[in-house]
Amino acid sequence: MSSIAIKDVPARGGNLTSVPPLTDSERKPVTKKEIAADHPTWCPGCGDFSVLALYFKLIEKRKLWHEKITTIAGIGCSSRFPYFVQAHGVHYIHGRALPFASGVSLSRPDLHVFVFGGDGDAFSIGGNHFNHTARKNIKMTYVVMDNWVYGLTKKQTSPTSPPGFKSKTDTWGAVDQPINPMKQAIAAGATFVARTTHTNPNHVLQMMEAAMDHDGFSFIECLSECVEFYPGAFDASNPRKGGAFNLVPENHDATDEMAAYKLADEPFPGKFGVFYNINRPTKNRLEADINAKAQEKVKGLQPWQILQQNFDRMK
């Protein structure tokens, strides 16, 4: 992560104070080279590399300006994401990326906030935040890089690990019923719910773009293999490993909640694509409306006069 250095601020000539900045059409779009960190510290072959590469592709394709790129994460291997994007970003507290991102989203309507993280970060310690951010429909895109394991802490059972998975916390094999991220997201109130896998780059990019264009809380479960602690977990979804990558059928009605549940209930490898996509007013818009109405009432008053009025009312 870095703040914008003076050299990055687009300006004509060297005098930043007297020369007007370039207009959007005069500026050169940001390139991957400018925002990619030197060496992501993931293990060679980790699925997270491909998600990062596609995020860069998205930034280039959608011509996002440097100062508009906002990448937020919690803690985990996948959550190291913002370190590798040389733009505004936060590597926040474990499981707390969404509350932080909510604040950014609600206060900066000019940004589209991207949050990246793992299955543990999203559904264990961050489980409650996931549910509440989804139901509030706060505008952002949340990509959960699901590897069915805690990678950073070296192989503990995660909430998405399948029964029987042997880990440091379940040496005889996991016994708990795993979370189904897609069902969880739909039930919590997410208004855009999609599923993809790191082994299909075009599809990941397609899902990220659709999520970014959604006005609300958009959630993507992206299978992302941990080659160190759960190798081969997703082979059954990878045609190159003899598996099957099947798209959501064209006739699927993504506004039909029950149809979305049905897709989410299919056994692995299931389907890939947009399961659920509806329009519901965002918290961003509802709060902006309240603020606009309140401001209309106090039109013409200085901030101190508004404060005085409030104090007077309390007397």
Ligand X SMILES: Cc1ncc(C[n+]2csc(CCOP(=O)(O)OP(=O)(O)O)c2C)c(N)n1
Note the residues at the interface with ligand SF4 (CB under 6 A): 42-43, 46, 48, 77, 147, 151-152, 226-229
By beta-carbon proximity to ligand SF4, the closer residue of 49 and 245 is 49
Size of the site for ligand X (CB under 6 A): 18
Q: How far is it, in rounded angstroms, from Cα 165 to Cα 155? A: 10
By beta-carbon proximity to ligand SF4, the closer residue of 156 and 206 is 156
Each residue 102-141 as x (binds Mg ion by CB under 5 A) or -, in order, gives: ----------------xx----------------------
* Residue 184 binding ligand X, by CB under 6 A: no
Q: How far is the CB of 122 from ligand SF4 (least distance, A)?
A: 14
Q: How far is the CB of 181 from ligand X (least distance, A)?
A: 11
Out of ligand X, Mg ion, ligand SF4, none, which partner does residue 46 contact, by CB within 5 to 8 A per kind? ligand SF4
* Residue 147 binding Mg ion, by CB under 5 A: yes
* Residue 158 binding ligand X, by CB under 6 A: yes
From 49-57, 71-79, 241-249, 255-263, give the range in contact with ligand X by CB under 6 A: 71-79
Question: Is the CB of residue 65 less than 8 Å from the CB of residue 35?
Answer: no
C-alpha separations of 189 from 14, 96, 259 in Å: 50, 19, 15
Out of ligand SF4, Mg ion, ligand X, none, which partner does residue 182 contact, by CB within 5 to 8 A per kind? none
By beta-carbon proximity to ligand X, the closer residue of 74 and 270 is 74
* Residue 47 binding ligand X, by CB under 6 A: no
Q: How far is the CB of 30 from ligand X (least distance, A)?
A: 26
* Residue 120 binding ligand X, by CB under 6 A: yes
- Give the footprint of ligand X on this chain (CB under 6 A): 75-78, 94, 117-121, 125, 147, 149-153, 158
